[in-house]
C-alpha cells in the first residue's frame, strides 16, 4: 500500500470519518492539510504541515517523503479539489468524503445527475454567462471574493433573473444553514465563506438560434448596417470550425455579432475581440449583455494589443483598415495547430492581397463568393434585394509549413 493517503473530511471534522480513516490519521507520521482541517486534530502527535500558497512545494515533498503521510482535503478531493492536482504527481491513495454538491442537493431535495457544475472558487467569473445560459440547474462553487452576492450581481447584469438560488452554508457543521433567494435578495444577504450556490431556472430563458437576426443587435444610428449580415455570419462561423472549448479572436468586431455568436458556440472556450472605434465598443457591450455573452473586448487598432490575447484556435478578420498584411502575419504566427483563419473581404483587391499573404505564410485557402438576396414585399408581390457580395476566405496551414 502507498505510504501517502488523501482523506476527504467534512465540516463536522472527526464525525465525518470512518473509524479506519481516523486510525490511519493517528498512525501516520506526517499530517498535511489546511488550517481548518488540521484544527480537527489538536492531539495529533506527528508533524503537521499547513497547506497554503502553491501546491508545487508539497508535490516535491511528497515525491521524497519516506514517512507515512496523510493529506486532509475538504469533501471529495477529486471534485475541484487538490486530489485532481496531486494525483499522478505522487503515489497517493484517495479516500473521498461526500462532496459539498451531494450534501447541498440532498438538502435541496433535488436530483443532481442532470445539473451543470462550475467553479468560480479562485477563478475568474468571466465567461460564466454564456456557459450557464438556459441550463435548468447549475451548481456553483464560490469563494470569499466571488461570493453569492457578487454572483447575483453578475447574473442580473446579464438579465438572467429567471433563476432562483439555493444557498447551502457550512454543510455538515454546527452552523449549517440552507436558504432560498431571488437574485435580488441574494445581492443584499450575508453568507458564510463556506457555501455552495445552486441556481434553479423557474421561468423561461430567451432563445436565440445560430444566425441571430440583424435587427436584434444594437447598431449605430443613423448609420445602421455596419454589421456582418446574418447569412454571411453563419457561413463565416461555419468556416471557423469552432469547438466547444475553442479560443477565438474577432478582429474588427464592431457590433460584436460574430464574437457573440462564437461565444455562444464555444461556451467552454474564450473569445477575444478588438475594435478601434470607441463608440462601437459601447454598442458591442450592450449586445454582449443582451445576448448573455461575456468575453474579452479591447479598444485598439490591430495588430496592436493582439499580444495580450492567448494563441487562438480560430481567427475571424472582419475589419482590417490598412493593416491587413501585419494582422494576417501575426495571426499566422500565433495560430494553434489545426487552427483556421477566416477573412471577409468586400473588394477584389482585398481578396487578392489576403490570399497572397496567407499563401506566402504557408496557408492553403478556400474562397466562397456569397451573393445573398433577401425577399421584400412590393405591393401584393415579392421582389429580391441583393446584399453586397462578400468573399469569405478560409485558410488553414499546409502540412509541414511554418510561418
Q: What's the average pLDDT block by block, 10 residues per block, for the chain (403 residues)?
A: 84 90 95 93 94 84 90 90 85 91 94 94 95 97 94 98 96 91 97 95 95 94 78 98 98 96 98 95 97 98 95 91 88 96 95 95 96 94 95 89 57
**Do 243 and 294 have their domain in common?**
yes
- Select from 73, 98, 123 the last residue of a domain: 98
Other residues' Cβ atoms within 10 Å of the Cβ of residue 33:
24
Phi and psi at 47, nearest 5°, equal: -80, 130
Whole-model pTM: value is 0.87
CATH number, domain containing residue 94: 3.40.1010.10
Are 164 and 199 in contact, with CB atoms under 8 Å apart? yes
Are 287 and 129 in contact, with CB atoms under 8 Å apart? no
Structural domain includes residue 242: yes
Q: What confidence score (pLDDT) does residue 321 get?
A: 63
Are 301 and 276 in contact, with CB atoms under 8 Å apart? yes
Q: What confidence score (pLDDT) does residue 1 get?
A: 47
Number of domains in the chain: 3
Structural domain includes residue 402: no
**Do 121 and 33 have their domain in common?**
no
**Do 323 and 370 have their domain in common?**
yes
**Do 259 and 369 have their domain in common?**
yes
Q: How far apart are CA 130 and CA 203, in angstroms?
A: 18
- Select from 98, 122, 150 the last residue of a domain: 98
HSE, side-chain direction, 13 A CA sphere, residue 281 = 13
Q: How far apart are CA 313 and CA 243, in angstroms?
A: 9
Structural domain includes residue 403: no
Q: What confidence score (pLDDT) does residue 222 get?
A: 64
Amino acid at each position: 500500500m502507498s505510504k501517502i493517503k488523501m482523506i476527504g473530511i467534512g465540516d463536522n471534522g472527526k464525525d465525518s470519518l470512518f473509524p479506519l480513516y481516523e486510525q490511519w490519521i493517528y498512525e501516520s507520521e506526517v499530517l498535511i492539510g489546511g488550517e481548518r482541517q488540521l484544527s480537527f486534530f489538536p492531539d495529533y502527535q506527528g508533524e503537521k504541515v499547513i497547506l497554503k500558497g502553491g501546491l508545487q512545494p508539497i508535490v516535491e515533498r511528497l515525491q521524497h517523503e519516506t514517512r507515512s503521510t496523510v493529506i486532509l482535503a475538504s469533501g471529495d478531493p477529486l471534485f475541484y479539489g487538490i486530489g485532481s492536482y496531486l494525483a499522478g504527481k505522487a503515489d497517493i491513495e484517495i479516500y473521498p468524503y461526500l462532496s459539498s454538491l451531494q450534501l447541498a442537493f440532498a438538502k435541496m431535495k433535488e436530483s443532481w445527475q442532470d445539473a451543470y457544475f462550475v467553479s468560480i472558487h479562485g477563478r475568474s467569473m468571466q465567461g460564466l454567462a454564456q456557459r450557464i445560459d438556459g441550463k435548468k440547474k447549475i451548481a456553483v462553487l464560490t469563494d470569499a471574493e466571488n461570493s453569492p452576492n457578487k454572483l447575483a450581481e453578475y447574473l442580473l447584469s446579464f438579465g438572467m433573473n429567471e433563476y432562483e438560488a439555493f444557498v447551502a452554508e457550512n454543510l455538515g457543521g454546527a452552523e449549517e444553514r440552507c436558504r432560498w433567494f431571488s437574485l435580488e435578495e441574494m445581492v443584499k444577504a450575508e453568507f458564510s465563506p463556506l457555501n455552495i450556490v445552486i441556481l434553479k431556472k423557474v421561468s423561461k430563458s430567451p432563445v436565440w438560434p445560430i444566425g441571430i437576426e440583424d435587427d436584434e443587435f444594437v447598431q449605430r444610428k443613423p448609420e445602421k448596417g455596419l454589421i456582418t449580415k446574418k447569412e454571411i455570419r453563419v457561413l463565416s462561423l461555419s468556416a471557423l470550425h469552432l469547438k466547444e472549448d475553442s479560443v477565438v479572436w474577432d478582429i474588427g468586431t464592431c457590433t460584436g455579432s460574430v464574437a457573440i455568436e462564437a461565444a455562444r458556440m464555444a461556451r467552454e472556450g474564450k473569445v477575444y475581440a478588438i475594435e478601434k472605434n470607441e463608440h462601437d465598443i459601447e454598442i458591442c457591450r450592450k449586445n454582449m449583455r443582451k445576448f448573455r455573452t461575456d468575453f474579452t473586448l479591447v479598444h485598439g487598432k490591430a495588430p496592436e494589443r493582439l499580444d495580450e490575447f492567448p494563441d487562438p484556435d480560430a481567427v475571424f478578420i472582419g475589419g482590417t483598415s490598412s493593416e491587413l498584411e501585419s494582422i494576417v502575419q501575426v495571426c499566422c504566427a500565433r495560430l494553434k495547430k489545426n487552427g483556421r483563419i477566416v477573412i471577409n473581404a468586400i473588394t477584389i483587391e482585398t481578396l487578392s492581397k489576403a490570399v497572397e499573404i496567407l499563401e506566402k505564410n504557408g496557408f492553403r485557402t478556400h474562397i466562397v463568393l456569397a451573393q445573398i438576396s433577401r425577399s421584400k414585399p412590393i405591393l401584393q408581390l415579392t421582389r429580391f434585394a441583393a446584399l453586397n457580395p462578400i468573399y469569405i476566405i478560409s485558410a488553414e496551414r499546409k502540412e509541414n509549413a511554418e510561418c
